Amino acid sequence: MSAAAEIGPDGGLLRVSSDKISRLMDLVGELSLSVSATVHSPDLAGLELSAFDAAVHRLTMIVREVQDAATELRLVPVDDVFKRLRRMVRELERQTGKKIEIVLEGEDTAIDKLVADQLYDPLLHVVRNSADHGLEPPDERRAAGKPEVGRITLSAAQIGSEVRITVSDDGRGLSRAKILKRARERGLFGPDEEPEPSVLWKVIFQPGFSTAETVTNLSGRGVGMDVLNTTMTALRGRIGVESEAGKGSDVALHIPVSLAFLDCIILRLGARLYALPIDAVSEIVQPAPADVMGMGATGGTEMLRLRGRWIPVCRLERFYDEDTGAGLTPLDRMVLAVVVTAQGPIAVPVDEVIDRQQVVMKPLVGRLARVRASWGCALLGTGEVALVLDCNGLSAGGGA
Amino acid sequence: MAEDLTRTARAEAQALSETDNVDDMYLTFAIGGEEYGVGIGGVTEIVGMQRIMSVPDVPAYIRGVINLRGKVIPLMDVRLRFGMAERAYDERTVIIVLDVADAPVGLIVDGVSEVLDIAPSQIDRPGQFGRSTKTAVMGLARVGDRVTILLDAEVLVGDGDLALPAEMVV
């Protein structure tokens, strides 16, 4: 502490390479695993160790704090990303001939450097879209009784363990008619289906989806939103869109503050461990026989009745095309985790819920990179490895 | 000359330590009655058998993953990869941890033998073994009166179907 006070006139800032911080994060991860291995050592089984237990408690608390402190080291304000975007908007003004005022809010919100580095490109596409399609040319704005200068607001705020970054404009808003027409052409909705706005807007993130009549230099090729989608999946984030005709649109990106640790529920199915991010799980149920049914018509898809509503069951064994020689355990003898997905809730049956814990996340690399519907591996306190499930991947993958 | 090398590629030189050329060095291991080798450059460590945790959505020859000091490493059973008979792991079974294209992978083999220095002149590289277009066999090394089958780690760890070694061995 006293040494830190001696640091020079630059406000006590140190430049540290991100490699060093990554190394520290890895070591902290290993530290917490080793502590856990020591504490749960089989050699201690059956011993009465009251002083030891108190020391373990203290140690665990400290490790948790070290973990938090290490995570914080890598947090940077979103300010840098925002400022780069602001420069880009100046450029867009020249290219489009529109007048754009850019407003930044919450630019000191902190976010993992690894996340911040990946945010610029997807945000750029959102901002471009707003400038190009959202905001009207000055004369159109005047005619609509709006100020001539269009406004794009970039705002960031931390909400729990998530950071929400919103790009709002006061332009013409998304065109329900155009998007719905295009979505129907692509078979995303039936000719008579009238989807909820929040569901409809999401289709603009589909690969290759664009309603722009003219492909401009800036946007409209339907590629940008796809980039956004890919990055958001990689960052375990979600996208929300709101829009009102004539008033403008808001695109909100919800991203976890840190990619290194994740609060999960640990589940066991057969010999395997799986982890579900805590935010994805809405409840855990043990169904009665009357609350489950199979539908031969759709290849044996099973359904679970939850408060009068039937929701699809996604068997992981089926999703991963496994040989289930001995047959599957009947659902009424299993525990079902009900998870939220973009397509609505689904139920994932498992043999046992083990516990809830903060896990150290490891990306799937090399031979594991192609495991479907997963965000990575979770290292548990016991040293075991669980696969972290991406619930949207599960519901989209058609296993159910 | 040697000084130049140390200066330009210090990290590599450190790994080399006193040996002459890491490219000519192979770690050999046994599978069934056969002796195989992989370039030592890609080998990061050799560890004993440990608890394997099964993962979904991988071919049967990927037995699962281990947690090696905080690193998640997928394990490939080389016998199964070659379509050979499965064999219960015993105290000689080891895991050779390799770094292939920046990703770690562990090979489960019947046992490790030694590190051999094999000059390129000792290696036969027949153009094609068997009918398959893809083979993990890089060449056959003559070491004394033995033959060591040298493997290309990248092909071995990749996805392609491999021709059976039984067809390949001369």
pLDDT in tens, B107-132: 999 999 999 999 888 888 876 555 55
pLDDT along chain A (400 residues), means of 10: 50 81 82 79 85 89 85 86 91 86 91 85 86 85 88 88 88 84 82 81 72 48 66 82 86 82 89 92 93 78 90 92 80 93 90 87 84 88 87 68
User: Do residue A82 and residue A213 come from a single domain?
Assistant: yes
Confidence of residue B80 (pLDDT cuts 50, 70, 90): very high
Q: Does B54 touch chain A (CB under 8 A)?
A: yes
Interface predicted TM-score (ipTM) of this complex, two decimals: 0.76
**Out of B58, B70, B76, whose CB is closest to A371?**
B58
User: Do residue A35 and residue A85 come from a single domain?
Assistant: no
Three-state SS string across chain A, please?
CHHHHCCCCCCCCCCCCHHHHHHHHHHHHHHHHHHHHHHCCHHHCCCCCHHHHHHHHHHHHHHHHHHHHHHHHCEEECHHHHHHHHHHHHHHHHHHCCCEEEEEECCCCEEEHHHHHHHHHHHHHHHHHHHHHHCCCHHHHHHCCCCCCEEEEEEEEEECCEEEEEEEECCCCCCHHHHHHHHHHCCCCCCCCCCCHHHHHHHHHCCCCCCCCCCCCCCCCCCHHHHHHHHHHHCCCEEEEEEECCCEEEEEEEEECCCCEEEEEEEEECCEEEEEEHHHEEEEECCCHHHEEEEHHHCCEEEEEECCEEEEECCHHHHCCCCCCCCCCCHHHCEEEEECCCCCCEEEEECEEEEEEEEEEECCCHHHCCCCCEEEEEECCCCCEEEEECHHHHHHCCCC
Least Cα distance to B159 among B111, B102, B100 occurs for B100
Q: Which of A256, A275, A303 is the last residue of a domain?
A: A256
Q: How far apart are CA A142 and CA A98, in angstroms?
A: 12
Q: How far apart are CA A350 and CA A272, in angstroms?
A: 10
DSSP line for B34-51: EEEEEEGGGEEEEEE---
pLDDT in tens, A227-281: 777 788 778 788 888 888 888 889 999 888 777 778 899 999 999 999 999 888 9
Q: Which of A29, A53, A74 is the last residue of a domain?
A: A74
Phi/psi zone of residue A177: left (φ > 0), alpha (ψ -120 to 50 degrees), beta? alpha
**Could you give the dihedral angle defined by the CA atoms of residues A296, A299, A305 and A311, in that order, rounded to the nearest 10 degrees?**
-150
CB A163 within 8 Å of CB A175: no
More confident residue, B12 or A17: A17
In chain B, what residues touch A369 (CB-CB under 8 Å)? 103
pLDDT score, position A133? 81
In chain B, what residues touch A362 (CB-CB under 8 Å)? 70-72
User: Do residue A113 and residue A248 come from a single domain?
Assistant: yes
Q: How far apart are CA A348 and CA A389, in angstroms?
A: 10
Which residue of B44, B58, B67, B108 is the best one to mutate when testing the A interface, meaning the one whose CB has the most A CBs within 10 A? B67
User: Do residue A88 and residue A232 come from a single domain?
Assistant: yes
Confidence of residue B94 (pLDDT cuts 50, 70, 90): very high
More confident residue, B93 or B127: B93
Copy the structure tokens of residue A363.
């990306």
Rounded alpha-carbon distances, angstroms, from residue B139 to A345, B114, B117, B148: 54, 18, 15, 9
CB A370 within 8 Å of CB B158: no
How many residue pairs from chains A and B have C-beta atoms closer than 8 A? 69
User: Do residue A177 and residue A325 come from a single domain?
Assistant: no
In the block, tokens 């709101």 appear at A242
User: Percent of chain A having pLDDT more than 90?
Assistant: 23
Q: Does A8 fall in a domain?
A: no
Contact: B72, A377; criterion CB under 8 Å: yes
User: Do residue A295 and residue A188 come from a single domain?
Assistant: no
User: Do residue A277 and residue A390 come from a single domain?
Assistant: yes
**Residue range of the domain that includes A372:** 261-396
Q: How far apart are CA A150 and CA A165, in angstroms?
A: 20
DSSP line for B53-107: B--SSS-TTEEEEEEETTEEEEEEEHHHHTTPPP----TT-EEEEEEETTEEEEE
pLDDT score, position A76? 87
Q: How far apart are CA B37 and CA B35, in angstroms?
A: 7
Contact: A272, B53; criterion CB under 8 Å: yes
Copy the structure tokens of residue B7.
């200066």
Confidence of residue B96 (pLDDT cuts 50, 70, 90): very high
CATH label of the domain that carries residue A61: 1.10.287
pLDDT in tens, B21-77: 788 899 999 998 899 999 999 999 999 998 899 999 999 999 999 988 778 999 999
Signed CA dihedral, A33, A34, A39, A43: sign only: positive
Classify each residue of B87-117 as buried b or exposed e, where b means 16 or more C-beta atoms within 10 Å of its C-beta. Answer: eebeeeebbbbbebeebbbbbbbbebeeebe
**Out of B53, B62, B66, whose CB is closest to A367?**
B62
Report the run of H or E that residue B149 belongs to, with start and end: strand B146-151
Angle at A28 between CA A379 and CA A70, to 5 degrees: 115
B2-164: CATH number: 2.40.50.180
CA atoms within 13 A on the CB side of A108: 0
Copy the structure tokens of residue A198.
């929040």
User: Do residue A86 and residue A186 come from a single domain?
Assistant: yes
pLDDT score, position B137? 86
Contact: B71, A29; criterion CB under 8 Å: no
Interface of A with B (CB under 8 A): 26, 29-30, 33, 271-273, 316, 320-322, 360, 362, 365-372, 374, 377, 379, 383-385, 387
CA atoms within 13 A on the CB side of A59: 15
DSSP line for B106-142: EEEESEEEEEEE--GGGEE--S--SS-S--SEEEEEE
In the block, tokens 């947090």 appear at A75
In chain A, what residues touch B106 (CB-CB under 8 Å)? none
Residue type, A243: S
In chain A, what residues touch B153 (CB-CB under 8 Å)? none
CATH label of the domain that carries residue A379: 2.30.30.40
Gyration radius (Cα) of chain A, Å: 25
User: Do residue A38 and residue A127 come from a single domain?
Assistant: no
Q: Collapse the DSSP code of B20 into the 3-class scheme (helix H, G, I; strand E, B; otherwise coil) and give the result.
A: coil
User: Do residue A69 and residue A155 come from a single domain?
Assistant: no
User: Do residue A24 and residue A98 come from a single domain?
Assistant: no
pLDDT score, position B2? 45
Contact: B103, A360; criterion CB under 8 Å: no
Contact: A371, B55; criterion CB under 8 Å: yes
Give the chain B residue nearest A23 (alpha carbons). Answer: B70
Q: Does A372 fall in a domain?
A: yes
User: Do residue A55 and residue A118 come from a single domain?
Assistant: no
CB atoms within 10 A of CB A71: 18
Domain count, chain A: 3
**Out of B56, B62, B69, whose CB is closest to A387?**
B56
Which residue of A317, A351, A361, A367 is the best one to mutate when testing the B interface, meaning the one whose CB has the most B CBs within 10 A? A367
Residue type, A35: V
**Residue numbers of B between 60 and 79 with CB closer than 8 Å to A:** 62, 65-67, 69-72, 74, 76
Q: Which of A30, A46, A74 is the last residue of a domain?
A: A74
In chain B, what residues touch A316 (CB-CB under 8 Å)? 56
